[in-house]
């Protein structure tokens, strides 16, 4: 076994991680090992953003004409990120932004707009703003936005999406939003842009050998395989090891549950798992593709799916979390499985050299139990491309609009011909121990005419499909009632010709201008 | 179409001479954004640093039968373990009344009660160790709800009543009568920085304590008492908190005490930092209330008589609950004249963590019931709720006596409501909403205006005092210490502005030190919105003392009359001659003039006879009003605050940007309390919402797209407060009641066809989507019954 170490750039400085607990989070590494106390622990569960830092990585520009390497910047919750995520990346924390006495534009905007009060959440907001600033179109476009209401709305949405994973208990957010706008309007070239070429070459040097990396300490191990075959071998060799994709749920067992994971296999460096490909009828999404990375494609194919993804976790969570992890985790309240089930998506499962194909629907057996065999892992998710004759409706119901776990997630995929329902797939999350089809409800609809009686019958049948639980998010009664009402809402939206009538509280009707 | 949100005078672009009345940036702003600002957990750790974790009870009520901590003691990294037997001095740290054992070895009164504490070489090892305790309990049935407490007459303190006139007779005589109930949920503080303290033993058996506390003097007192040492052996240093909101007024002290006992035992530095889930489980919250009203009113909705019963859930111990339920009672009138009134407050004892101070200190809960009454009367009579609110407002020359017999003197309410109503186009928007609602089958809008009147002063009279210490150095730089603590509210910034104003010098010359018990003794907690009012006056007093010495010296030095000496923009003019401030300070030093002074302040005019519930508990009132417009989805219960318009009276603002920040932040925090922030306990009394994954405070999309905040202009406080400003910390919190009221309005608007007279919308808080949907269904069902019947 290779004994290559985790290496990364701490700002400009090459760091090698040795003798660290493989279960250590990046936040604890920063605070306890590096004595960098700017990043704060607010929750240790990835829900408040006070620990936000940014990872820069080398990527190829997607513009086919000029294949140019560039740095992409992603905000992460360091409190739920294990050290493996650092390998081959540049880690930037709040301490890195200031140059001499000059504050970075995002810092200056926060000061000028009175964006901090107690200041504890501020480093996290600053890093989210930095990431937002790096990922938004240039200031030029936003200067134009000042005169264009559509663009301005889009900018406001971008800001909300970029900051939804950062909680502030003091300001009420208006001042921070003002700072975000101001920061977006600056075209300052920062030190990271000036040093990009050198950063890229330093980062490429780390991963040049493309060897497997490992970290062993305190009787625990972390493996970071570099190829699919290495991964397949490792999973067979250590069937009890935990597979680490985004880790946004797995890390909670350590930070909240005080678990000690003996063996971790991190998927982040397996190139094959981070690929997206398309054929005529199918999108193939590698198991390690983050929500963020497939968001644009899924939005193109299924706008409703894309819109829902904006409400899955936060930018930090979507930068880390993966479609494969969401399925593999088998939570009854994962947001993508009901959609994947309704769309008839399939999984490519791999064990050793063998692969097999299983529908997402049949993957889930019981609460947190799946068809995955020992030594087997999810290689990719195969999603059929959209059928223009069919309509997809996705509804996420939660207590809070931003960064909340679904109370109920409903997905309807149907085809109407002359008001007759000729095809229908309905799946729900949060209504049973697993994400599940509503067969009786589908039966009540199939072949029927879209009319109030049909909808009433479908609503009534839902009580036979599900017996939801009561928990901290909602009562069983509410879950059932809202699930029924969503059937009504779905058909109302389908029948609604006028675009002037809003149907959703979260203004879904606003089209994003900068998706391209 | 959405508009850009805006606020008055926000951007800090003016770098010229800064003083009182300007939007000076927060003194730590640059340290906040660069990560340099140091919080208690960020301090460099010293050699031998230990970390603490606390062993908690896993039942809500009963006794400890047996306790085996042997595995805890032998767990890796553990250096010391303490139980109640290790406490040398006082073991009860109750703030006002006894009832808060620092550790328990027998009786358990809530799930999460501290039983033992561990010091280990790392935070993780300490956490792992506490999990190894074997504790057997004798469980008894816990009292978990207000209903259960009332049934058992389980009270933590005796009930109290305020009355004026004969409410029963007036209600009976009135043309209309209504009664109703309202359950108001609690609220977790969710300060982003959790409870934390760091303690270092000193050479004389004392302790150097760093504690994230709103009340360092009390931390000092309690640390000294648990160690049985004089107060002067303990120094508490508090640089800044990552949020407090009342949650660190009394409930920060216990953690510092535990760390001090462990530090005393090990003679090593000990830090304690609660994980978020432990913090939420172990510390008290805003008091949940169940309130009841019975009201009589006339055709225009004017209240003629009212009985209010406020039942506060205090948790297991008194803590500050007596004063909190009192303040709820003091605010059950809000802005309305209640002719013939009786207000009774019960202090219910339950087996939950001891509920404590939280922004508003019971005031918000008190106001909720009277605002509920306003809406209910309006719905009953088929009137616009604003009309009913206006009809009941306190008068200027009459109808101006509160239920506790204080005269409402500085009444801007009618003026403010009229201005806000006009600016926010209330009437036009009501009409627009009616059109929208008629055209949308599932989405409905509602709008409401609610006012706020909040009494300023601690109701415990002795707390209305403050001290300050100013040290001036020979380069002209000044260090100010005062008894107040900085938790993000900008107190230190305002204090620096005040001192700069006194000397007419640049604010850069002023540094406000960490709050330290050896600089300013016996300080009151930074609470009750009083930080600037009290400490600002004390700092001003200290500055004026030194200034007078400088004036006397200048007069003598330049042989001019003191009336001819002017401090102006870093220059002192003495008749025809001028000297820079720095030069003057240096000359004064060589002339052996003392450049250091203390300052002191006590609030005048206040008194209160609690036995007869009569007096003037409040120096003055802070006032404001807000309009909220909401959109609800009648199929799912989801909702969104579309627009908020606020007009608030801060007197002559010392710092408009900071005051607006307090207003916006208070409003959103109040909205969270009333909407998404839901605490959930299981039937055994265990809190299940112990982190941000399940406890949802407002996030960025919850802030309204249009958020207009205006400060009332030309409204100097008629009382001689610091530069005639008004306190701003708590009052804006209650502006959020308009969100709840607008939700009720939208729910009422969901009814199809003619509204049946006398319908009520029952919407307990937090008004989660689930509760909103339930209210929509319930009102629809009632309408059906009404029609059929």
In this model, does residue A442 exceed pLDDT 70?
Answer: yes
CB B424 within 8 A of CB B433: no
| Predicted pLDDT at A156 | 86
Record the tokens describing residue A485, joined without a space.
């009402």
| A410 and A474 part of one domain | yes
Q: Which residues of B touch A175 (CB under 8 A)?
A: 10, 661, 664
Q: Is residue B29 part of a domain?
A: no
In this model, does residue B775 exceed pLDDT 50?
Answer: yes
In this model, does residue A145 exceed pLDDT 80?
Answer: no
Query: Which of A384, A413, A440 finishes a domain?
Result: A384
**Among residues of chain A, what percentage have pLDDT more than 70?**
93
| B665 and B728 part of one domain | yes
> What CATH number should be reported for the domain holding residue A311?
3.30.465.10
Alpha carbon distance A485, A499 (integer Å): 21
| B593 and B702 part of one domain | no
Q: Is residue B216 part of a domain?
A: no
* d(CA A60, nearest CA chain B) in Å: 31
In this model, does residue B8 exceed pLDDT 50?
Answer: no
Containing domain of residue A368, as a range?
271-384
Pairing of strands B515-516, B565-568: unpaired
Which 129-158 residues of chain B touch chain A by CB within 8 A?
A: 131
> Tens of pLDDT along B166-180?
999 999 999 999 999
Query: Which of A384, A417, A441 finishes a domain?
Result: A384
Containing domain of residue B733, as a range?
1-10+401-456+611-789
Backbone angles phi, psi at B228, to 5 degrees: 55, 50
Residue range A97-121: mean pLDDT, rounded? 97
Q: Is B680 on the interface with A (CB under 8 A)?
A: yes
Q: Is residue A7 part of a domain?
A: no
Q: Is B26 on the interface with A (CB under 8 A)?
A: yes
| Predicted pLDDT at B367 | 98
| Predicted pLDDT at B9 | 42
Alpha carbon distance B106, B104 (integer Å): 6
DSSP state letter for B524: P
Q: Is residue A434 part of a domain?
A: yes
Q: Is residue B780 part of a domain?
A: yes
Record the tokens describing residue B698, joined without a space.
């407002």
| A354 and A421 part of one domain | no
Question: Distance from first CA to last CA of chain B, Å, rounded?
Answer: 43
| A194 and A51 part of one domain | yes
Alpha carbon distance B647, B653 (integer Å): 13
Segment among A65-74, B202-211, B267-276, B549-558 with least mean pLDDT = A65-74
Q: Is residue A148 part of a domain?
A: yes
Query: Which of B564, B583, B602 finishes a domain?
Result: B602
| Predicted pLDDT at A509 | 40
Q: Is residue A325 part of a domain?
A: yes
| A54 and A193 part of one domain | yes
Distance of CA A223 to the CA centre of its chain: 23
The total of structural domains in chain A comes to 3
| A86 and A181 part of one domain | yes
Q: Is residue A177 part of a domain?
A: yes
| Predicted pLDDT at A65 | 54
Alpha carbon distance B491, B514 (integer Å): 12
Alpha carbon distance B571, B17 (integer Å): 13
Closest among B43, B21, B23, B110 to B685, alpha carbons compared:
B110
The total of structural domains in chain B comes to 2
Query: Which of A341, A364, A384 finishes a domain?
Result: A384
Closest among A433, A168, A409, A264 to B661, alpha carbons compared:
A168
User: Which chain B residue lies closest to A162 (C-alpha atoms)?
Assistant: B700
Q: Is residue B729 part of a domain?
A: yes
In this model, does residue A516 exceed pLDDT 60?
Answer: no
| Predicted pLDDT at A61 | 61
| A378 and A395 part of one domain | no
CB B394 within 8 A of CB B605: no
Average pLDDT, chain B: 96
In this model, does residue B3 exceed pLDDT 60?
Answer: no
> What CATH number should be reported for the domain holding residue B662?
3.30.365.10
In this model, does residue B160 exceed pLDDT 70?
Answer: yes
| A282 and A380 part of one domain | yes
| B529 and B425 part of one domain | no
- The total of other beta-carbon atoms located within 10 Å of residue B27's CB is 21
Question: Distance from first CA to last CA of chain A, Å, rounded?
Answer: 43
Q: Is B175 on the interface with A (CB under 8 A)?
A: no
| B417 and B520 part of one domain | no
**Interchain pair A103, B33: CB under 8 A:** yes
Instruction: Identify the band that residue B784 occupies on the pLDDT scale cut at 50, 70 and 90.
Output: confident
Alpha carbon distance A44, B41 (integer Å): 14
In this model, does residue B155 exceed pLDDT 60?
Answer: yes
Closest among A511, A88, A62 to A270, alpha carbons compared:
A88
> Tens of pLDDT along A64-107?
555 689 999 999 999 999 999 999 999 999 999 999 999 999 99
Record the tokens describing residue B588, joined without a space.
């004064």
Segment among A503-507, B500-504, B678-682, B713-717 with least mean pLDDT = A503-507
**Interchain pair B693, A492: CB under 8 A:** no
| Predicted pLDDT at B87 | 98
Query: Which of B548, B568, B602 finishes a domain?
Result: B602
Closest among A299, A290, A119 to B192, alpha carbons compared:
A119
Query: Which of B584, B602, B620 finishes a domain?
Result: B602
| B618 and B598 part of one domain | no
Alpha carbon distance A407, B234 (integer Å): 50
| B654 and B755 part of one domain | yes
Q: Is residue B619 part of a domain?
A: yes
CB B81 within 8 A of CB B117: yes
Q: Which residues of A touch B210 (CB under 8 A)?
A: none
Alpha carbon distance A121, B661 (integer Å): 15
Q: Which residues of B touch A396 (CB under 8 A)?
A: none
CB B116 within 8 A of CB B357: no
Record the tokens describing residue B310, joined without a space.
């406020």
| B769 and B644 part of one domain | yes
Mutate to test the interface with A, among B6, B24, B35, B245 (most CBs of A within 10 A): B35
CB A306 within 8 A of CB A396: no
In this model, does residue A152 exceed pLDDT 90?
Answer: no
Record the tokens describing residue B4, joined without a space.
């850009």
In this model, does residue A514 exceed pLDDT 80?
Answer: no
Closest among B138, B610, B73, B580 to B330, alpha carbons compared:
B610
- The total of other beta-carbon atoms located within 10 Å of residue B164's CB is 18
**Among residues of chain B, what percentage have pLDDT more than 70?**
97
| B656 and B587 part of one domain | no
Q: What is the CA radius of gyration of chain B?
A: 27
> What CATH number should be reported for the domain holding residue A415?
3.30.390.50
Residue range A137-142: mean pLDDT, rounded? 63
Segment among B200-209, B573-582, B746-755 with least mean pLDDT = B746-755
Residue range B646-660: mean pLDDT, rounded? 97
CB A329 within 8 A of CB A295: no
**Interchain pair B7, A174: CB under 8 A:** yes
Q: Is residue B706 part of a domain?
A: yes
| A200 and A69 part of one domain | yes
> Tens of pLDDT along B212-238?
999 999 999 999 999 999 999 999 999
| Predicted pLDDT at A62 | 54
| B580 and B714 part of one domain | no
Pairing of strands A220-224, A213-217: antiparallel
> Tens of pLDDT along A175-216?
999 999 998 877 788 999 999 999 999 999 999 888 899 999
Instruction: Identify the band that residue A512 occupies on the pLDDT scale cut at 50, 70 and 90.
Output: very low
In this model, does residue B125 exceed pLDDT 60?
Answer: yes
Pairing of strands B639-649, B443-456: unpaired
DSSP per position, A269-328: T-GGGG-EEE-SSEEEEETT-BHHHHHHHHHHH-HHHHHHHTTSS-HHHHHH-BHHHHHH
**Helix A174-184, helix A149-163: angle, nearest 10:** 120
| A452 and A430 part of one domain | yes
Alpha carbon distance B317, B284 (integer Å): 10
Q: Is residue A16 part of a domain?
A: no
| A448 and A476 part of one domain | yes
Query: Residue B434 contacts by C-beta under 8 Å, 6 or more apart in sequence?
Result: none
Nearest-by-Cβ selection for B28 from A119, A170, A395: A119
| B672 and B570 part of one domain | no
Record the tokens describing residue A394, joined without a space.
């996705």
Which 183-202 residues of chain B touch chain A by CB within 8 A?
A: 189-194
| B687 and B544 part of one domain | no
Secondary structure of residue B388 in the 3-state scheme: helix
Alpha carbon distance A361, B152 (integer Å): 52
Q: Is residue B234 part of a domain?
A: no
Which 485-504 residues of chain B touch chain A by CB within 8 A?
A: 487-490
CB A111 within 8 A of CB A76: no
Specify the residue for token string 């971008």.
A158
Instruction: Identify the band that residue A502 occupies on the pLDDT scale cut at 50, 70 and 90.
Output: confident
Closest among B296, B402, B374, B363 to B738, alpha carbons compared:
B374
Closest among B293, B324, B327, B295 to B308, alpha carbons compared:
B293
| A66 and A174 part of one domain | yes
Nearest-by-Cβ selection for A116 from B26, B128, B701: B26
Average pLDDT, chain A: 93
Secondary structure of residue B491 in the 3-state scheme: helix
Across B239-316, the runs of DSSP E, i.e. the strands, are 270-273, 289-297, 303-313
| Predicted pLDDT at B436 | 94
Specify the residue for token string 């009672």.
B329
CB B531 within 8 A of CB B215: no
Q: Where are the alpha helices (DSSP H) in B445-490?
A: none
Alpha carbon distance B658, A114 (integer Å): 8
| B630 and B678 part of one domain | yes
> Tens of pLDDT along B281-337?
999 999 999 999 999 999 999 999 999 999 999 999 999 999 999 999 999 999 999
| A336 and A484 part of one domain | no
> Tens of pLDDT along A367-426?
999 999 999 999 999 999 999 999 999 999 999 999 999 999 999 999 999 999 999 999
In this model, does residue B589 exceed pLDDT 50?
Answer: yes
In this model, does residue A153 exceed pLDDT 90?
Answer: no
Decide: residue A107, CB within 10 A, 0-12 exposed, 13-18 middle, 19+ buried: buried
> What CATH number should be reported for the domain holding residue A102?
3.10.20.30
Instruction: Identify the band that residue A503 occupies on the pLDDT scale cut at 50, 70 and 90.
Output: confident
In this model, does residue A63 exceed pLDDT 60?
Answer: no
Record the tokens describing residue B211, joined without a space.
């504690």
Give the catalytic positions of B in this structure: 730
Instruction: Identify the band that residue B486 occupies on the pLDDT scale cut at 50, 70 and 90.
Output: very high
Rounded (10°) CA dihedral A24, A27, A31, A32:
-10
**Interchain pair B277, A256: CB under 8 A:** yes
Q: What does each C-alpha distance from A457 to A410, A425, A442, A492, B773 come to in angstroms?
A: 17, 16, 10, 15, 21
| Predicted pLDDT at B783 | 83
Q: Is residue A237 part of a domain?
A: no
């Amino acid at each position: 076994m290779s004994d290559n170490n985790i290496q990364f750039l701490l700002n400009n400085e090459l760091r090698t991680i040795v003798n660290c607990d493989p279960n250590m989070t990046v936040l604890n590494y920063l605070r306890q090992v590096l004595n960098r106390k700017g990043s704060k622990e607010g929750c240790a569960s990835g829900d408040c953003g006070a620990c936000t830092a940014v990872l820069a990585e080398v990527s190829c520009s997607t513009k086919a004409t000029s294949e140019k390497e560039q740095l992409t910047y992603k905000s992460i919750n360091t409190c739920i990120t294990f050290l493996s995520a650092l390998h081959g990346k540049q880690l930037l924390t709040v301490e890195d932004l200031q140059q001499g006495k000059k504050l970075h534009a995002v810092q200056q905007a926060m000061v000028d707009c009175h964006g901090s009060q107690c200041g504890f959440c501020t480093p996290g907001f600053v890093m989210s703003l930095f990431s937002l600033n790096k990922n938004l179109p240039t200031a030029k476009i936003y200067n134009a936005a000042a005169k264009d209401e559509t663009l301005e709305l889009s900018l406001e949405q971008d800001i909300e999406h970029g900051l939804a994973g950062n909680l502030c208990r003091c300001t009420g957010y208006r001042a921070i939003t003002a700072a975000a706008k101001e920061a977006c309007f600056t075209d300052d070239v920062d030190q990271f842009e000036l040093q990009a070429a050198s950063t890229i070459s330093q980062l490429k040097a780390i991963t040049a050998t493309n060897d497997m990396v490992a970290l062993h300490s305190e009787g625990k191990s972390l493996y970071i395989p570099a190829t699919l075959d290495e991964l397949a071998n490792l999973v067979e060799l250590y069937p009890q090891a935990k597979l680490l994709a985004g880790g946004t749920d797995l890390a909670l067992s350590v930070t909240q549950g005080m678990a000690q994971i003996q063996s971790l296999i991190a998927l982040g460096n397996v190139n094959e798992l981070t690929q997206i490909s398309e054929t005529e009828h199918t999108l193939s999404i590698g198991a390690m593709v983050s929500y963020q990375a497939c968001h644009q494609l899924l939005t193109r194919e299924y706008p409703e799916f894309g819109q829902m993804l904006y409400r899955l976790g936060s930018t930090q969570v979507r930068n880390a979390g993966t479609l494969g992890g969401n399925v593999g985790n088998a939570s009854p309240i994962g947001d993508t499985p009901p959609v994947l089930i309704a769309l008839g998506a399939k999984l490519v499962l791999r064990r050793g050299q063998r692969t097999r194909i299983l529908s997402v629907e049949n993957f889930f057996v019981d609460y947190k139990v799946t068809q995955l065999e020992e030594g087997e892992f999810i290689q990719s998710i195969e999603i059929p491309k959209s059928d223009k004759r069919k309509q997809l409706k996705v509804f996420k119901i939660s207590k809070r609009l931003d960064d909340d776990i679904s109370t109920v997630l409903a997905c309807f995929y149907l085809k109407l011909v002359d008001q007759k329902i000729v095809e229908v797939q309905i799946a729900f999350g949060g209504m049973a121990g697993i994400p599940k089809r509503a067969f009786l409800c589908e039966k009540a609809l199939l072949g029927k005419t879209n009319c109030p009686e049909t909808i009433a019958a479908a609503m009534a049948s839902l009580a036979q499909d599900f017996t939801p639980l009561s928990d901290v998010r909602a009562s069983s009664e509410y879950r059932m009632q809202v699930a029924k009402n969503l059937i009504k809402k779905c058909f109302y939206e389908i029948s609604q010709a006028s675009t002037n009538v809003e149907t959703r509280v979260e203004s879904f009707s606003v089209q994003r201008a900068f998706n391209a | 179409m959405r508009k850009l949100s805006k606020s008055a005078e926000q951007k800090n672009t003016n770098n010229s001479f800064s003083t009182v009345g300007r939007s000076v940036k927060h003194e730590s702003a640059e340290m906040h954004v660069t990560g340099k600002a140091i919080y208690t957990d960020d301090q460099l750790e010293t050699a031998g640093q230990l970390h603490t974790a606390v062993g908690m009870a896993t039942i809500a009520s009963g006794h400890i039968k047996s306790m085996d901590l042997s595995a805890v003691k032998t767990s890796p990294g553990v250096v010391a373990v303490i139980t109640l037997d290790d406490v040398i001095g006082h073991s009860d740290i109750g703030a006002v009344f006894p009832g808060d054992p620092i550790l328990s070895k027998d009786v358990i009164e809530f799930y999460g009660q501290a039983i033992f504490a561990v010091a280990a070489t790392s935070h993780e090892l300490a956490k792992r160790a506490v999990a190894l305790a074997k504790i057997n309990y004798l469980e008894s049935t816990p009292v978990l709800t207000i209903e259960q407490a009332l049934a058992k007459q389980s009270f933590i303190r005796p009930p109290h009543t305020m009355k004026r006139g004969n409410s029963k007779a007036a209600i009976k005589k009135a043309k209309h009568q209504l009664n109703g109930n309202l359950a108001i949920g609690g609220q977790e503080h969710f300060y982003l920085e959790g409870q934390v303290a760091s303690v270092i033993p000193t050479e004389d058996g004392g302790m150097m304590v760093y504690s994230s506390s709103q009340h360092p003097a009390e931390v000092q007192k309690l640390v000294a008492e648990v160690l049985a040492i004089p107060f002067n052996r303990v120094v508490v240093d508090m640089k800044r908190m990552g949020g407090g909101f009342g949650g660190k007024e009394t409930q920060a002290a216990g953690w510092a005490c535990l760390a001090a006992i462990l530090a005393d035992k090990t003679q090593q530095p000990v830090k304690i930092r609660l994980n978020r889930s432990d913090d939420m489980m172990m510390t008290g919250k805003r008091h949940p209330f169940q309130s009841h009203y019975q009201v009589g009113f006339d055709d225009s909705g004017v209240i003629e008589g009212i009985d209010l019963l406020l039942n506060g859930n205090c948790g297991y111990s008194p803590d500050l609950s007596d004063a909190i339920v009192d303040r709820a009672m003091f605010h059950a009138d809000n802005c309305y004249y209640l002719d013939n009134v009786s207000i009774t407050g019960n202090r219910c004892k339950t087996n939950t963590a001891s509920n404590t101070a939280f922004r508003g200190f019971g005031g918000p809960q008190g106001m909720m019931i009277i605002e509920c009454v306003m809406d209910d009367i309006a719905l009953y009579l088929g009137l616009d709720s604003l009309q009913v609110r206006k009809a009941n407002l306190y008068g200027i020359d009459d109808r101006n006596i509160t239920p506790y017999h204080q005269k409402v003197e500085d009444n801007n309410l009618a003026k403010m409501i009229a201005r806000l109503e006009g600016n926010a186009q209330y009437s036009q928007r009501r009409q627009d909403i009616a059109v929208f609602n008629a055209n949308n089958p599932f989405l409905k809008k509602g709008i409401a205006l609610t006012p706020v009147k909040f009494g300023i002063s601690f109701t415990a009279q002795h707390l209305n005092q403050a001290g300050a210490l100013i040290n001036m150095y020979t380069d002209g730089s000044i260090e100010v210490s005062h008894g107040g603590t900085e938790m993000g509210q900008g107190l230190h910034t305002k204090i620096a502005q005040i001192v700069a104003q006194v000397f007419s010098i640049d604010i850069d010359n002023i540094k406000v030190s960490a709050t330290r018990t050896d600089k300013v003794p016996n300080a009151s907690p930074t609470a009750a919105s009083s930080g600037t009012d009290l400490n600002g006056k004390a700092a001003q007093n200290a500055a004026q003392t030194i200034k007078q010495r400088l004036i006397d010296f200048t007069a003598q030095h330049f042989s001019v009359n003191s009336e001819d000496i002017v401090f102006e923009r870093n220059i002192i003019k003495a008749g025809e001659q001028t000297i820079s401030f720095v030069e003057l300070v240096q000359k004064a030093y060589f002339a052996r003039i003392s450049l250091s002074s203390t300052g002191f302040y006590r609030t005048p005019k206040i008194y209160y006879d609690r036995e007869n519930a009569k007096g003037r508990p409040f120096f003055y009132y802070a006032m404001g009003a807000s309009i909220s417009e909401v959109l609800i989805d009648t199929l799912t219960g989801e909702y969104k605050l579309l627009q908020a318009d606020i007009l608030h009276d801060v007197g002559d603002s010392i710092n408009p940007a900071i005051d607006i920040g307090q207003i916006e932040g208070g409003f959103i925090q109040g909205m969270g309390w009333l909407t998404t922030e839901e605490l959930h306990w299981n039937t055994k009394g265990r809190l299940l919402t112990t982190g941000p994954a399940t406890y949802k405070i407002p996030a960025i999309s919850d802030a309204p797209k249009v958020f207009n905040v205006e400060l009332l202009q030309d409204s100097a406080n008629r009382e001689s407060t610091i530069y005639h400003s008004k306190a701003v910390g708590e009052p804006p919190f209650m502006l959020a009641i308009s969100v709840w009221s607008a939700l009720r309005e939208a729910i009422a608007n969901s009814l199809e066809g003619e509204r049946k007279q006398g319908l009520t919308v029952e919407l307990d808080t937090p008004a989660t989507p689930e509760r909103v949907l339930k209210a929509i269904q319930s009102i629809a069902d009632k309408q059906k019954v009404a029609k059929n019947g």
